[in-house]
Amino acid sequence: MFAVTAARIVADDPLAGLELGERPEPVPPDGWTTVTVKAASLNHHDVWTLRGVGISADRLPIVLGCDAAGLDPEGNEVVVHAVISDPAWTGDETIDPRRSLLSERYDGTFAQRVAVPRRNLVPKPAALSFAEAACLPTAYLTAYRMLFDRAGLQPGATVLVQGAGGGVATALILLGRAAGYRVWATSRSEAKRDRALALGADQAFPSGTRLPERVDAVMETVGEATWAHSLRALKPGGTIVISGATSGPMPPADLSRVFFLQLSVVGSTMGTRDQLGRLLRFCEQTGLRPLIDRTLPLDQARDGLAAMMAGELFGKVVLTA
């Protein structure tokens, strides 16, 4: 079958380790099944894998991709939950110390077929296309958990989303807006700030700008480049929820501000299978649809990854198999 594979780790030239071509058919072990992939979507995770972040060379070659929607062997339309927990684990899969994401230990979704644990399949609502559904399991699920589980917010609260153009950031704007939050966004690019407003953000600011007032919570995925601003933006008692650090993971912590203003710094990773089910229902109920920047055939995955690395995207890149 055709697949998009991380064949080598080249930290400073990630696309040099990418291979497109034939790979063996997946062989599902007991309790697993094979999904025929109709659509998959890119995440920054795929770039990290090619850079060797979160994976060691002995796992390669490995098929990239966390997210997919497709057909199970009975022809049912399904969405794949990307968090693979230990078979003995029960409860919140995101805190299983043995968990992995698809494409970390097991081949991922950028292929015509992918093997996944049967319990990781969630029915796809008919109202969502395969392309839309394929955007949800990583970026949108992460945004859902950040906003609705980890932030402790109530509707009407003001939320700042850093780095408006990213897959998680556009998801945060759409979900926050649909849930009745006042959503503010930052971006380095004027064009992306305009698009954030069109998407439903109440106001959009250049990255690092002083805000008109302090916010209840900040949603962080950018890291070093925006961290100091995130801390300055919070009301006393406010919360930063952080799920990524695209620009680097080691900003100055500014501990005095954290304790003096009694700020909460809350980590968040992916979401549970149940949360993915609720996210799908949230989309059905509210009419929310993921924002897709572009749709490419699987054999053009390199172009999508290059656009992501250049920070050119506004929304998700979908690959169709």
By CB under 6 A, name the binding residues for ligand NAP.
43-45, 48, 138-139, 142, 163-169, 187-189, 192, 207, 221-222, 225-226, 243-247, 269-270, 308, 311, 313
Bridge pairing between strands 83-84 and 100-101:
antiparallel
Q: Which two tokens stand for residue 30?
A: 């007991």
Q: Which two tokens stand for residue 75?
A: 């022809």
Minimum distance, C-beta of residue 30 to ligand NAP, in the bound complex (Å): 28
Cβ closest to ligand NAP, residue 33 vs residue 275: 275
Cβ closest to ligand NAP, residue 85 vs residue 187: 187
Minimum distance, C-beta of residue 259 to ligand NAP, in the bound complex (Å): 25
Minimum distance, C-beta of residue 202 to ligand NAP, in the bound complex (Å): 17
Contact 317, 41 (CB under 8 A): yes
Cβ closest to ligand NAP, residue 60 vs residue 225: 225
Contact 183, 205 (CB under 8 A): no
Q: Which residue in 124, 180, 173 sits closest to 315, CA to CA?
A: 173
Tally Cβ neighbours within 10 Å of residue 252: 9
Minimum distance, C-beta of residue 154 to ligand NAP, in the bound complex (Å): 24
Residue with tokens 């684990």: 89
Cβ closest to ligand NAP, residue 26 vs residue 166: 166
CA distance 257 to 231: 7
Minimum distance, C-beta of residue 75 to ligand NAP, in the bound complex (Å): 30
Kindly give, in sequence order, each residue whose CB lies less than 8 Å from that of residue 215, ignoring residues fewer than 6 positions away: 158, 159, 160, 184, 233, 234, 235, 238
Cβ closest to ligand NAP, residue 122 vs residue 161: 161
Cβ closest to ligand NAP, residue 189 vs residue 300: 189
Q: Which residue in 225, 242, 233 sits closest to 261, CA to CA?
A: 233
CA distance 178 to 282: 9
Residue with tokens 């995925």: 221
Minimum distance, C-beta of residue 243 to ligand NAP, in the bound complex (Å): 4
Q: Which residue's CB comes closest to ligand NAP?
A: 244
Report how far apart, in Å, the C-alpha atoms of 260 and of each of 15, 159, 214, 239, 255 are. 45, 21, 16, 14, 8
Cβ closest to ligand NAP, residue 28 vs residue 277: 277
Q: Which two tokens stand for residue 96?
A: 């299983």
Cβ closest to ligand NAP, residue 169 vs residue 321: 169
Minimum distance, C-beta of residue 241 to ligand NAP, in the bound complex (Å): 10
Minimum distance, C-beta of residue 117 to ligand NAP, in the bound complex (Å): 18
Bridge pairing between strands 264-267 and 292-297:
unpaired
